[in-house]
Amino acid sequence: MNALVQEQARLVTRPDSGPCPVIETKRLTLRPHRLTDAPAIAESLADFKVARMLMRVPTPFHRQDALDWLNRQAARPDWALAITSGDDVHIGCIGIELLRGEWHVGYWLNRFYWGRGIMSEGVYAAVERFFRRMPEATLHSGVFADNPASLKVQEKLGFKITGCSEVFARARNAMVAHIETRLTAEDLKRPN
């Protein structure tokens, strides 16, 4: 009976990635979010060119939406890392969360920082740290089919395409083709 109780406890126990870390890279600091990040988050996600590439972000997106999201994140054990530049300006987000029993990574970046390799650098740092804590985990992700820049980030890091589906994009209020990907610690590559 004791073995059965232990097995049930193992199945119910949530895998623990530990507290959200602070990660330094050559150009960035990835850190837990603060309530003071709300204006920068609202400004970034109010830009439809950013919001249209995200599944769960509504449009329009306001400061109160950012505050509501930040308050929900504070109560969750998942990682919601603010991407900040050297002067602690919030320019994006990398999230690693447990959804339906699988680990998922997602990210976004303020449009004015696109095309500089920032997302590849940040996602690599977050994923590498995550795999140090959870080496047996598999990370799932994906991109909208009309977002080749995000797919390029994932391919540089070693993500493998696993399928295609359609998902609802709140900002677009429509179903959108979604390329599904996954990554293991063994497949992770440092971007050039």
What domains are defined for the chain?
15-187 (3.40.630.30)
Closest CA to 139 of 178, 114, 107: 107
3-state SS class at 79: strand
The structure tokens 């590439």 sit at 53
Phi/psi at 139 (5° precision) = -100, 130
Q: Is the pTM of this model over 0.85?
A: yes
What is the structure's pLDDT at 73?
87
- Rounded to 5 degrees, what angle do the CA atoms 94, 58, 170 make? 95
Q: In what order do the strands lie in the sheet with 90-99?
A: 23-24, 29-32, 79-84, 90-99, 102-109, 138-144, 174-184, 160-169
Closest CA to 139 of 94, 97, 191: 97
> Are 75 and 69 spatial neighbours (Cβ–Cβ below 8 Å)?
no
Per-residue pLDDT of the chain (192 residues; tens, 9 = 90+): 555 555 544 444 557 777 889 999 999 999 999 999 999 999 999 999 999 999 999 999 999 999 999 999 887 889 999 999 878 999 999 999 999 999 999 999 999 999 999 999 999 999 999 999 999 999 999 999 999 999 999 999 999 999 999 999 999 999 999 999 999 999 999 997
